[in-house]
Amino acid sequence: MSAVTIAFLGIGLMGRPMATRLAQAGHTVRAWNRTFAKAQALGAVGAEPHADLAGAVAGAQLVISILEAGPVVGGLIEAALPALAPGTLWIDMSSTRQDEALAFHAKLAAHGCRFLDAPVSGGVGGAESGQLAIMAGGAQADFDQAAPFLGALGTPRLVGPAGSGQVAKLCNQLIVGATLNVVAEALLLAQAAGADPVAVREAIRGGFAGSRILEVHGQRMLDRNFIPGGQVKSQLKDQHNILAAAAGAGLALPVTELVTRQYESIAAELPSADHAAALLALERQNPGLRLGDAPDQLP
């Protein structure tokens, strides 16, 4: 693999371990973040901290962004365009709307650059271990160029043309959001009906109801550990994006609408709590019922 310079934009909860893995894999990584101290901290793992966005992206063959939301990504692309070399491949790993990803693709193409939307699933743990699911939308040749680098972060798959990665991520988050709420209901029902919720979870883990969410977040709920991981505000953003995509496709998603309302009920008070806080939304609808007796661990 020939030497490639990667500009990594967004050193947050997910971006920090992802940029770290790329630097530790021996790649030249320029780290940029609006709060420079976060980028500066990656100097310890071999990345090059950059305070200036133009300096970070100038001459880079790959630009990887993972930011809070589509409008932030769009603003960053606009600001970076004058410094991008022709042919630069921008890989946005943020979770955005499909129409936003298509707009990013069009804007970059108009300036002679290329684009993949490649959102991820797997949370901070997956980012740290290099086991993210990476859902990419774009041209096959661009994906083929990016795949060896994305492979340091997880398992990349091309799921269709530009915008398709975000569709796949929305499908993922639809299932995640609904399953988190169903796991919360199952555990609270077990306790309310007189069974041991710890034992119930153990009993069903190996059956058809078994899932990664029951495994990881079921335990989080039992421990009442709501330190993020995925955050309520991020899950709610994804819920709204799912409903926007469904509206655009002329599709009604009644379960997703219910899940969205659950997250809306706690978003103002607990925006940074783990999305397993779906349990807290459920308990508020059932006054006097509470899963277990451990104290809540909240950010």
Quick: pLDDT tens for 248-276: 889 999 999 999 999 999 999 999 999 99
Structure tokens, 226: 């709501």
The overall average pLDDT reported for the chain is 94
Contact between 65 and 104 under an 8 Å Cβ cutoff? The reply is no
User: Which residues belong to CATH 3.40.50.720 in the chain?
Assistant: 5-161
**Rounded mean pLDDT of 111-122?**
94
Cα distance between residue 58 and residue 88, in whole Å? 10
What architecture is the 167-284 domain classified under in CATH?
Orthogonal Bundle (1.10)
Contact between 228 and 123 under an 8 Å Cβ cutoff? The reply is no
Cα distance between residue 93 and residue 178, in whole Å? 23
Contact between 125 and 18 under an 8 Å Cβ cutoff? The reply is no
pLDDT band at 1 (very low <50, low <70, confident <90, very high): very low
User: Environment class of residue 74 by beta-carbon count within 10 Å: exposed (0-12), middle (13-18) or buried (19+)?
Assistant: middle
Cα distance between residue 77 and residue 71, in whole Å? 10
Dihedral sign computed on CA atoms, order 198, 203, 207, 209: negative
- 218-255 per-position pLDDT tens digit: 999 999 999 987 899 989 998 998 999 899 889 999 99
Contact between 243 and 260 under an 8 Å Cβ cutoff? The reply is yes
For domain 5-161, give its CATH number from 2.60.40.10, 3.20.20.70, 3.30.1390.10, 3.40.50.720.
3.40.50.720
Phi, psi of 156 (to 5 degrees): -85, 140
Q: State the DSSP H helix or E strand holding residue 129, giving kind and residue range, or none if neither.
A: helix 123-129
Residues annotated as catalytic (active site), given as ranges:
169
Nearest to 118 by CA among 84, 72, 75, 73: 73
Residues across the chain: 299
User: Does pTM top 0.75 for this prediction?
Assistant: yes
User: Which residues belong to CATH 1.10.1040.10 in the chain?
Assistant: 167-284
* Higher per-residue confidence, 95 vs 155: 155
Structure tokens, 2: 């020939």
Query: What is the pLDDT at residue 97?
Result: 87
**Residue 24 carries which side chain, given as an amino acid letter?**
Q
Is a pLDDT exceeding 70 seen at residue 40?
yes
Please give the sequence-ordered ranges of beta strands (E in DSSP) within 2-81, or none if there are none. Answer: 5-9, 28-32, 48-50, 62-65
- Residue 155 pairs in a beta bridge with 133
